[in-house]
Amino acid sequence: MATLLSIHEKATAVVDLYVPIRHSAHAERDAATADDDLRAVRDLRAAAVESPSLQGPLSLDQRRDALLAYARALAVVASRFLISPDREHVRTFSFTWHDAFNMNQKVCLPSVHLERAAVLFNLGAVYSQIALAADLNTDIGIKSACGAFESAAGAFAESGLAAKAVAAGAITVDVTPECTGMLEKLMLGQAQECLLEKFIAGGKPPELCSKVARQLGIFYEEAYRALCAPPLSQHFDKTWISHIQMKAAQFHADACYRCSLDLHQAEEISEEIVRLQIGMNALADAKKTAKGVAAPLLHSVYKLESNMKTNLERAMKENNSMYLLQIPDVGSLGALPAACLVKSTSLAVALGASEQRPFSPLVPEGSMCDAEKLQQSSEISGVRLKEMDPSGVLPSLEGNVSLSVDLKAGGEEN
């Protein structure tokens, strides 16, 4: 299988969560209760994002588990402590994160939402690396890779959602909705590609393989469109963009090729010719502009192009000698049907709080603030009530004032 992509993790700087949060106003009231949990969160961060990346499938699984554990802890931290640039919140430290695709870009911000978006991005990156580490020559390996790519897609989607809670303009490009959406489509495309290779090797009918290939091409086309628009158009290396462009053309052409095989069996030669021409034109257009494409991918493209050329020459020869059918216009043919066999994995269960929730005895700081405001408002209302004449007010509140006789009589007459 040619040139699947994995994503590099974002780099961060070491930060001490323990001291600033423990010394915050809320944590100080419950210092003894929060102390052990804060140390645990600090250790989770160190294991998840501060330690250097290890090599090997086993270490990738360990990194995935560490990132999941820290992401779960961050969800609880966000509900218990207010960490943001706001003057009333914990802001005596900042999280520093570099862009995964441009290390020169970074952001430093006291925002737990920024931290969570970055951690989820790295989770998606690790899932993509797990997928590439699978043995794609076996059914088990293909199934494992497909599942890991789907999980990567889900993690990138969650990263984009988390980043929306960060102040506008305070995030790097890699966690913007445009970039995480592009990465989600890319991961889904690669998951579908694993299945297509399995179907082809297993001798599945050309009609089915054509539908799977067409959806695969659509995933890559959507990713390519995102890469060609701001803010991604000037952010990625040109060879990266060319790779996605060529993949989109390859699987559009592959869908046409496999559809043509089915058409040839049905002796629908005229449409076979047009489908082959459409596919070959897609490859020719991509080769004109896609520069720096990796050799294995180009080899696959040239092989596909050669097969299509051979079949096109055969079909045209048969039509000229036997069928004598009129070749329809390209516009008269409908779009090829597509079959989507993959979807982004929801990480709701994996990211759900564990049975041992940190800081569970503590009242969330936001709730504490609301309670204090409510108590303050109640005290002010009490003072104002005392300043009023209770002889006229309190009976009214108790419902002890009856209507006057005249007013009551007037109401009955109406």
* pLDDT for 365: 47
| Helix, strand, coil shares, percent, the chain, to 5 | 65, 5, 30
Is 332 in the same domain as 232? yes
Both tokens assigned to 377:
């408002």
By the 8 A CB rule, do 212 and 339 touch? yes
Give the range of the structural domain holding residue 50, as residue numbers without chain letter: 8-175+345-375
* pLDDT for 382: 42
* pLDDT for 86: 66
Number of neighbours of residue 329 by Cβ within 10 angstroms: 8
C-alpha separations of 218 from 46, 338, 339 in Å: 39, 9, 10
Is 211 in the same domain as 339? yes
Q: Is residue 135 part of a domain?
A: yes
Nearest to 118 by CA among 102, 103, 104, 97: 97
Both tokens assigned to 115:
């931290």
By the 8 A CB rule, do 355 and 232 touch? no
Summarised one tens digit per residue, pLDDT across range 279-294 is 999 999 999 999 999 9
% of the chain surpassing 90 pLDDT: 67
Number of neighbours of residue 398 by Cβ within 10 angstroms: 8
Is 121 in the same domain as 212? no
CB-facing half-sphere around the CA of 191: CA atoms within 13 A: 27
List the alpha helices (DSSP H) in 81-176.
112-133, 139-163
Is 26 in the same domain as 154? yes
Q: In whole numbers, what is the pLDDT of the chain averaged over residues?
A: 85
Q: Is residue 51 part of a domain?
A: yes
- Residue that is last in its domain, among 297, 324, 343: 343
- Residue that is last in its domain, among 326, 343, 360: 343
Q: Is residue 55 part of a domain?
A: yes
Selected residue with higher pLDDT from 42 and 91 = 42
Summarised one tens digit per residue, pLDDT across range 236-289 is 999 999 999 999 999 999 999 999 999 999 999 999 999 999 999 999 999 999
* pLDDT for 36: 81
* pLDDT for 38: 84
Q: Is residue 381 part of a domain?
A: no
Summarised one tens digit per residue, pLDDT across range 359-411 is 554 444 454 444 334 334 443 344 344 445 444 443 443 444 343 434 344 44
Q: Is residue 359 part of a domain?
A: yes
Selected residue with higher pLDDT from 53 and 18 = 18
* pLDDT for 54: 60
% of the chain surpassing 70 pLDDT: 77
Q: Is residue 98 part of a domain?
A: yes
Is 145 in the same domain as 61? yes
Give CA angle at 256 (252, 259), nearest 5°.
Answer: 135
C-alpha separations of 374 from 363, 367, 369, 377 in Å: 15, 10, 9, 5
Residues in the chain: 414
Summarised one tens digit per residue, pLDDT across range 308-364 is 999 999 999 999 999 999 999 988 899 999 999 999 999 998 887 555 556 554 444
Nearest to 146 by CA among 137, 136, 160: 136
Is 265 in the same domain as 169? no
Give CA angle at 12 (9, 18), nearest 5°.
Answer: 130
Overall number of domains in the chain:
2
The strand pairing partners of 95, in sequence order, are 109
Q: Is residue 213 part of a domain?
A: yes
Q: What CATH number is attached to the domain comprising 92?
A: 1.25.40.280
Amino acid at 148: A
Is 79 in the same domain as 46? yes
Is 224 in the same domain as 151? no
Cα 81 from Cα 18, distance rounded (Å): 12
Is 207 in the same domain as 269? yes
Q: Is residue 315 part of a domain?
A: yes
* pLDDT for 37: 83
Is 293 in the same domain as 330? yes
Is 166 in the same domain as 36? yes
Both tokens assigned to 103:
């290390």
Both tokens assigned to 337:
């049907």
Is 316 in the same domain as 292? yes
Average pLDDT over residues 218-231: 98
Quick one: pLDDT band at residue 167, thresholds 50, 70, 90? confident
